[in-house]
């Protein structure tokens, strides 16, 4: 069975990336269950976007490694901020964000105040 047939049947393929020097999963969508959950997963849309950036010389190997480390550390999906779906989600998040009041005076939290004025110790 070829990798393409396996990908179509299971919804994922495990591969070794020469650029990242590690094994990753390429999945049809992020809901696909994979055998080793410790490996990083990239969805079809992420791969297509990264390939587009690479082809346009907007992404080099080091930047790809940094993006991968950020994805691993923070989770989430690498998206095109200019895509139609991404802009909708930004507006949705912005609508739910609380807006600070204009006439509010900033006060430091009580936990930041010095409780005792003792001599500094070394």
CA-to-CA distance for 109 and 122, rounded, in angstroms?
A: 27
- Across the 122 residues of the chain, what is the mean pLDDT of every consecutive 10-residue run? 88 94 93 93 94 94 93 90 62 50 64 60 53
pLDDT at position 106: 64
97-105 contact pairs (CB < 8 A, 24+): none
pLDDT at position 103: 65
Residue linked to tokens 């990908």: 7
CA-to-CA distance for 93 and 47, rounded, in angstroms?
A: 25
pLDDT at position 87: 46
pLDDT at position 102: 61
pLDDT at position 91: 47
CA-to-CA distance for 92 and 118, rounded, in angstroms?
A: 50
Helix (H), strand (E) counts: the chain: 4, 3
Pairing state between β 40-43 and 12-17: unpaired
pLDDT at position 6: 87
pLDDT at position 83: 77
For residue 43, the tally of other CB atoms under 10 A from its CB is 19
């Amino acid at each position: 069975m070829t990798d393409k047939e396996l990908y179509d049947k299971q919804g994922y393929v495990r591969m070794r990336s020469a650029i990242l020097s590690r094994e990753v999963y390429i999945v049809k969508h992020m809901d696909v269950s994979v055998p080793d959950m410790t490996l990083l997963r990239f969805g079809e849309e992420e791969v297509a976007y990264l390939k587009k950036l690479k082809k346009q010389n907007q992404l080099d190997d080091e930047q790809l490694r940094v993006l991968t480390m950020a994805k691993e550390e923070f989770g989430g999906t690498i998206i095109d901020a200019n895509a139609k779906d991404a802009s909708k989600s930004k507006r949705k998040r912005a609508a739910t964000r609380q807006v600070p009041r204009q006439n509010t005076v900033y006060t430091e939290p009580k936990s930041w105040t010095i409780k005792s004025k003792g001599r500094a110790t070394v």
